[in-house]
Amino acid sequence: MGRLTEEMNQGKVPAPPTLPRMLSLEQVQEVLNLGMPSIYALVKSGELRAAQFGGRNVWRVREDDLAAFIDAAYEKTAERIASGQIPDVDTPGGS
C-alpha cells in the first residue's frame, strides 16, 4: 500500500505539495541589479530558466532557478579568474 493511502487510513491528512515561489522578471531585475534588456537576453538565451504564463510578457522565474543561475555565475567567474581570462584590473580591488 502507498504512503498516501496509509496516512489517509490512519486519519492523517497529507500535507499539500510545496510549490516553488515564482518571481516576475521585474523582481529578478531587482535582485540581479541589471537592466530589463539584460534580463530578457538571459531568458532568451536560456541562461536563466523562465516560463511564460498566460498572455504576452507574463514571465516567471522560480526562486530556485534564480539561485542556481547566481551560483553558476559565481562558479563561472571563479573559473575565469583562475584561468587568467579576467585580468586583475577588471576584478574588484584590482589595480
Domain assignment of residue 4, yes or no: no
Query: 63: exposed, middle or buried (C-beta count within 10 Å: 0-12, 13-18, 19+)?
Result: middle
In a domain, 93, yes or no: no
pLDDT tens profile 70-95: 999 999 999 998 998 887 655 666 65
Give the residue numbers spanning the domain of 45: 20-84
We report the CATH number of the domain holding residue 42 as: 1.10.1660
pTM of this structure: 0.72
Per residue in 16-30, pLDDT (tens digit) is 888 889 999 999 999
Is 25 inside a domain boundary?
Answer: yes
How many structural domains does the chain have? 1
